[in-house]
Amino acid sequence: MTFTDPRIARLIVLVRGIRRPPPGMARIALALSVGILCHAFFVAGVLAMIVVMYYGLSESFGNVPWPWAALANAYLILQFPVAHSALLTGPGGRLLARLIPGPHGATLATTTYAMIASIQILALFMLWTPSGIVWWRAEGAVLWVLTAAYAASWMLLMKAIFDAGTELQLGALGWMSLMAWSRPVFPDMPTQGLFRFIRQPIYVAFAMTLWTVPVWTPDQLFLAVSYSAYCLLAPRLKERRFAARHGDRFHRYRSAVPYMLPRLTSAKDPPDAQ
């Protein structure tokens, strides 16, 4: 991996652009404010997810009385995939462009999208009402093994996010482009790194985090089953967008690279690799 690697080169271009931004105090202040908020919510949401899932959702701050808590928890699970997918549609994209008033809403749309997703994740794990039932809690060597597997799943997820385009996945593309007063340049169709082996490594790694926790409760099982189904089905919508955008190039990639389970034979570079 070198500075000419597109995954690195894109970040370098963005960082150079914000080091000496063109004049415009209001624009720069808006970009920095939205960027700080986005990344703060992202860090808070990820940390909440890591910690709360590690304990099998047995501990959180929700206090809705039962049986209403079941409905509240179901809503918390549904609100993320529904909004996450809806905002990627044409009408959803136009809504994102209008959420921040003024002429810069469209440029900040990717940052706004990442911030909304982070707030949704934070709400899910901080407002969950635990059932109070613990089926199984790992101890001794099993605890260490599962903790290592859980950490490895998260590292795999971070690697997949890097391969897909860190600036887009973490919401930096919008605010950094606005600060540099440049048009956001989206990452190309990802084919490097983990994308050489499977087409959906982000969803696979995310699903792995759901099933490697050392504490199992009805809450964790409900979450794991629900979001595993989402990880299996949601990428089909994503691939439709890729097919419409990249045409034959994506069809060749899809025919060469499996969906979620890597082939046992050694992988070759996919067609049109970056």
* HEC letters along 65-102: CCCHHHHHHHHHHHHHHHHHHHCCCHHHHHHHHHHCCC
How many Cβ atoms from other residues are within 10 Å of residue 86's Cβ? 11
Which 8-state DSSP code applies to residue 188?
Answer: P
Provide the β-strand partners of residue 121: none
Tens of pLDDT along 100-128? 998 999 999 999 999 999 999 999 999 99
Alpha carbon dihedral 129, 203, 46, 29, in 10-degree steps, equals -120
Q: Tell me what pLDDT residue 209 has.
A: 98
Q: Tell me what pLDDT residue 272 has.
A: 57
CA pair distance 53, 1, nearest whole angstrom: 33
Tens of pLDDT along 46-87? 999 999 999 999 999 999 999 999 999 999 999 999 998 899
Is 21's pLDDT higher than 50? Answer: yes
Q: Tell me what pLDDT residue 274 has.
A: 45
Let me know the angle formed at the C-alpha of 100 by 98 and 103, rounded to the nearest 5 degrees.
75
| Residue 2 banded pLDDT, cuts 50, 70, 90 | low
CA pair distance 125, 122, nearest whole angstrom: 6
Region 163-185: mean pLDDT is 93
Decide if 189 contacts 273 (C-beta within 8 A).
no
Region 165-194: mean pLDDT is 93
| pTM for this model (two decimals) | 0.91
Contacts of 1 (CB under 8 A, 6+ apart): 7, 8
Q: Tell me what pLDDT residue 263 has.
A: 85
Let me know the angle formed at the C-alpha of 171 by 252 and 182, rounded to the nearest 5 degrees.
85
Indicate the average pLDDT of the chain: 92
CA pair distance 77, 120, nearest whole angstrom: 9
Q: Tell me what pLDDT residue 175 has.
A: 96
Tens of pLDDT along 29-46? 999 999 999 999 999 999
Contacts of 167 (CB under 8 A, 6+ apart): 10, 11, 14, 173, 176, 187
Give the residue with greater pLDDT, 149 vs 90. Answer: 149
Q: Tell me what pLDDT residue 90 has.
A: 87
Is 273's pLDDT higher than 90? Answer: no
| Residue 268 banded pLDDT, cuts 50, 70, 90 | low
Region 203-207: mean pLDDT is 97
Phi, psi of 254 (to 5 degrees): -65, -35
In the chain, what is the straight-line distance between the N-terminal and C-terminal CA atoms, in Å?
13
Decide if 194 contacts 159 (C-beta within 8 A).
yes
